[in-house]
């Protein structure tokens, strides 16, 4: 018990902060923050698997998150038959061409030993393939995008339940990680960071500009939900009865029937949004708990010890006969898959897919701050980091506004400096996160909850 005292203390403080938001702002806000905290926690766990277990630096989190989101669209949205008729066959053929390019490159790399000849051949295959794809897909894309451009204009998905897409998101992200890992994992740490960041940018720009795939920057809205809709809830009798029961004390004070009805209606509307968010929170919480159990088990298994050995001394681990390249690739895939699940969860939570919003600031650097602040190599630390930094990210503007008002209380309302500061209150979140990161890096480099090695 004593061993886990700091963990329990840190988590209670976090919970208290969220409850305080619920009391002082509103329960909907508190639950929104809570849900996002859990999504961030899953992302952080993914990054922590890579950085904390194996010391691999992955700045491409943005790309995997976006792929997870794409999976939700491709799995859950109903297919658009007109679009498939218009250009589905050509697009399928393009996929075949891409596969052909990949296999022929593999063949060339294997069979031809002369490096100059090989490079020219590979370049020729890629350029020839690109031209072929453009010729085949060009007209197909045009006709797909012409199908009701305001509403669809894309191929649509498979129309399957949305929860299924979380798994698919993980698979997509893992698949991308396999390719990225093959390309970049041999690089030195900081090169790897840059390379992964840039590859993630490529992925996001493809999702952004290939409108036939997921409407690009035109966004996909009204995605399916694994939980009931507020509007449906407000009409169901059992839910209304439940709300009535909960608030019976408050309702009994009101005498007139009409007024009672109005109050009840308002209460039902509020409660429905809280209920939906609670359902979401339950789903997310189960994902977090399952992942936590798996990652904890993995961390303290022989496999986890092997990973730590590789992280701490690559040469020694290699001398002991561990295949470093293979293990690095595996852990890179696993961590990225977790991030992909988080990306799918986030899009499910929002109910819309906005490729334009995937930016490195929010989806790579903030996540990394979470990992560093929370505690590298400690899963509880990673989750706490996700919670704490996301909470700060959301609540920074109100805190900054409060502080500005406090320090400029003696200035008149028309003071130019005061007005300017109040207008720029939202940007204080960058300042707080940045200073927080710098302080933690300097005075507690192992994070709030440091890594714990259990001696067996």
Partner 1 sequence: MDFLNALILLLNYTIIPALTYGSQLALGAIFVTLIYGVLRFANFATGDMMSFGTMFAVLLTFYFQSLGISLGVLPTALLTIPFAIVMMILYMLTIDKFVFSYYRIKKSPPVQLAMVSVGVMFVTQAIIRIIIGPFDRRFLDGEKFILKAIEFKEMTGLNEGLTIKSTQLITIIVTLIVVSVMFWFLNKTKTGTSMRAYSDNEDLALLSGIDPKKVVMLTWIIAGVLATVGGVLYGLDKSYKPFVYFNNMLPIFAAAIVGGIGNPFGAFLGGYVVAFGEIFITYAYKKFFTYILPEHLEPDSLMQLLSTDYKFAVSFSILVVVLLFRPSGIFKGKIL
Query: What tokens does 203 get?
Result: 């992925």
Which residue among 241, 434, 444, 453 contacts partner 1 (CB under 8 A)? Answer: 434
Q: Phi and psi of 353, rounded to 5°?
A: -115, 115
C-alpha to C-alpha distance for 345 and 362, rounded to whole angstroms = 16
- Binding to partner 1, residues 90-119 (CB under 8 A): 119
Nearer CB in complex with partner 1: 116/455: 116
Contacting partner 1 (CB under 8 A), which of 78, 89, 130, 453? 130
Nearer to partner 1, 172 or 368 (CB): 368
Contacts with 326 (C-beta within 8 Å, 6 or more apart), sequence order? none
Longest alpha-carbon distance in the chain? 92
Residue whose CB is less far from partner 1, 133 or 309: 133
Q: Does 244 bind partner 1 (CB under 8 A)?
A: no
Candidate residues 198, 274, 285, 352; the one interacting with partner 1 per rule CB under 8 A: 198
329 in contact with partner 1 (CB under 8 A): no
Give the separation between CA 42 and CA 289, rounded to whole angstroms: 10
Query: Smallest distance from the beta carbon of 205 to partner 1, in angstroms?
Result: 5
Structural tokens at position 68: 């997870």
Q: Can you tell me which of 64, 368, 388, 390 binds partner 1, judged by CB under 8 A?
A: 368
Which one of residues 45, 57, 66, 281 is an interface residue with partner 1 (CB under 8 A)? 57
Give the Cβ contact number of residue 419 at 10 Å. 13
Given 102, 194, 293, 320, the residue binding partner 1 (CB under 8 A)? 194
Q: Which residues contact 427 (CB under 8 A, 6 or more apart)?
A: none
Of 47, 184, 383, 448, the one binding partner 1 by CB under 8 A: 184
Decide if residue 394 touches partner 1 (CB under 8 A). no
Measured from the CB atom, is 125 or 198 closer to partner 1?
198
Draw the binding track, 403-432, toward partner 1 (x: CB under 8 A; -: no contact): ------------------x-xx--xxxxx-
Angle between helices 189-209 and 61-76 (to 10 degrees): 30
Please report how close the Cβ of residue 441 comes to partner 1 at its closest, in angstroms.
Answer: 6
Region from 99-107, 131-139, 151-159, 350-358 binding partner 1, contact rule CB under 8 A:
131-139
Q: Compute the least distance from the CB of residue 333 to partner 1, in Å.
A: 18
Distance between CA atoms of 422 and 408, rounded to whole angstroms? 10
Instruction: Work out which of 80, 83, 173, 197 binds partner 1, going by CB under 8 A.
Output: 197
Least CB distance from residue 101 to partner 1, whole Å? 14
Question: 210 or 230, CB closer to partner 1?
Answer: 210
Q: 138, 159, 235, 356: which one contacts partner 1 (CB under 8 A)?
A: 138
19 touches partner 1 (CB under 8 A): no
Q: Which of 189, 253, 319, 454 binds partner 1 (CB under 8 A)?
A: 189
Q: Which is nearer to partner 1, 85 or 190 (CB)?
A: 190
Which residues form the interface with partner 1 (CB under 8 A)? 57, 119, 127, 130-131, 134, 138, 183-184, 186-191, 193-195, 197-199, 201-202, 205-206, 208-209, 360-361, 365, 368-369, 372, 421, 423-424, 427-431, 433-435, 437-438, 441-442, 445
């Amino acid at each position: 018990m004593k061993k886990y005292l700091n963990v329990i203390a840190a988590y209670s403080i976090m919970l208290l902060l969220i409850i305080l938001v619920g009391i002082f702002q509103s329960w909907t806000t508190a639950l929104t923050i809570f849900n996002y905290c859990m999504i961030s926690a899953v992302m952080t766990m993914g990054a922590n698997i890579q950085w904390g277990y194996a010391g691999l630096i992955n700045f491409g989190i943005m790309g995997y998150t976006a792929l997870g989101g794409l999976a939700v669209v491709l799995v859950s949205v109903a297919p658009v038959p007109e679009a498939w008729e218009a250009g589905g066959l050509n697009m399928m053929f393009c996929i075949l061409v891409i596969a052909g390019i990949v296999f022929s490159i593999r063949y060339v790399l294997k069979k031809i030993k002369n490096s100059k000849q090989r490079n020219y051949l590979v370049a020729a295959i890629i350029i020839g393939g690109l031209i072929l794809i453009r010729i085949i897909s060009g007209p197909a894309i045009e006709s797909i995008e012409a199908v009701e451009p305001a509403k669809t204009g894309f191929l649509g998905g498979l129309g399957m339940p949305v929860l299924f897409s979380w798994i698919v998101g993980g698979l997509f992200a893992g698949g991308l990680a396999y390719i990225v890992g093959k390309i970049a994992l041999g690089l030195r740490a900081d090169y790897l960071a840059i390379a992964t960041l840039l590859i993630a940018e490529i992925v996001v720009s493809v999702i952004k500009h290939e409108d036939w795939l997921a409407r690009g920057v035109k966004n996909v809205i009204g995605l399916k939900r694994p939980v009931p809709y507020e509007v449906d809830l407000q009409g169901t009798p059992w839910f209304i009865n439940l709300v009535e029961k909960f608030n019976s004390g408050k309702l009994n004070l009101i005498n007139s029937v009409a007024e009672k009805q109005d109050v009840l209606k308002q209460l039902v509307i509020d409660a429905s949004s809280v209920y939906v968010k609670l359902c979401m929170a339950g789903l997310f919480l189960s994902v977090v708990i399952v992942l936590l159990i798996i990652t904890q088990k993995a961390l303290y298994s022989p496999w986890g010890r092997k990973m730590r050995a590789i992280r701490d001394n690559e040469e020694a681990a290699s001398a002991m006969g561990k295949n470093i390249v293979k293990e690095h690739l595996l852990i890179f895939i696993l961590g990225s898959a977790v991030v992909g699940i988080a990306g799918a969860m986030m899009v499910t939570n929002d109910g819309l897919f906005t490729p334009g919003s995937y930016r490195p600031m929010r989806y790579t650097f903030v996540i990394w701050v979470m990992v560093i602040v929370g505690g590298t190599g400690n899963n509880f630390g990673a989750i706490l980091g996700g919670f704490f930094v996301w909470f700060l990210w959301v609540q920074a503007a109100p805190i900054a506004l409060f502080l500005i008002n406090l320090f400029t209380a003696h200035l008149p309302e028309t003071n130019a400096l005061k007005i300017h500061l109040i207008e720029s209150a939202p940007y204080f979140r960058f300042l707080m996160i940045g200073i927080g990161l710098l302080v933690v890096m300097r005075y507690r480099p192992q994070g709030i909850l440091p890594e714990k090695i259990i001696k067996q």
